[in-house]
Amino acid sequence: MKNGRYQEELNAFLVEVFNDILKAEEIYVAERCTDLSVREMHIIEEVCRAVDQGRDNRSSAIAAAQHVTAGTLTVAVNQLEAKGYLERVRDGGDKRSVRLHPTQKGREADGRHADFHRELVEATVETLTEEETGVLARGLGGIAAFIRKKYLE
């Protein structure tokens, strides 16, 4: 086992940090977007990224990216549409297809949420050297790859 002496310490750290990040994000979102849950914020974020990057922004693609069922996403989009964060737009080329788009309110919420992530990254790297930041990024990349391959693909 590579670097075995750190395994227990890393496990405890990852479990604690993961839970702390989720709780902090929940608090951050609740303070800045009082009518949104973190799950709803992540859907808004996914729709914004899909639109901005020219990716598929149909409900089925957003559901797949968020690892939720189409039905679960439909319920969430209904709520987000009623709250004024997202809108459904019929595809010009295929009238059967509906694409999701953020409203101005959705863009503003996404910007506030992006601030949380930016602050988190800045706080993480401010005490690290460039080399240490690279090592950390590689290690976290390994975790992400493992999770995606083993549980999400």
What's the per-residue H, E or C state across 123-142? HHHCCCCHHHHHHHHHHHHH
User: What is the spatial distance between Cα 25 and Cα 18, in angstroms, rounded to a whole number?
Assistant: 11
Looking from the CA of 145 toward its CB, the CA atoms found within 13 Å total 6
Q: Please, what CATH class does the domain formed by 4-152 belong to?
A: mainly alpha
User: What is the spatial distance between Cα 39 and Cα 110, in angstroms, rounded to a whole number?
Assistant: 12
What's the confidence (pLDDT) of residue 17? 92
What's the confidence (pLDDT) of residue 3? 66
Q: Can you give the pLDDT of all 153 residues of the chain as single tens digits?
A: 566 778 888 899 899 999 999 999 999 999 999 999 999 999 999 999 999 999 999 999 999 999 999 999 999 999 999 999 999 998 877 777 889 999 999 999 999 999 999 999 999 999 999 999 999 999 999 999 999 999 988
What's the confidence (pLDDT) of residue 2? 67
Residue 86 and residue 50 in contact, taking contact as beta carbons nearer than 8 Å: no
Residue 8 and residue 1 in contact, taking contact as beta carbons nearer than 8 Å: no
pTM for the whole thing?
Answer: 0.87
Looking from the CA of 17 toward its CB, the CA atoms found within 13 Å total 9
118 CB burial (10 A radius; 0-12, 13-18, 19+): exposed
DSSP assignments along 83-117, one per residue:
TTSEEEEE-SS-TT-EEEEE-HHHHHHHHHHHHHH
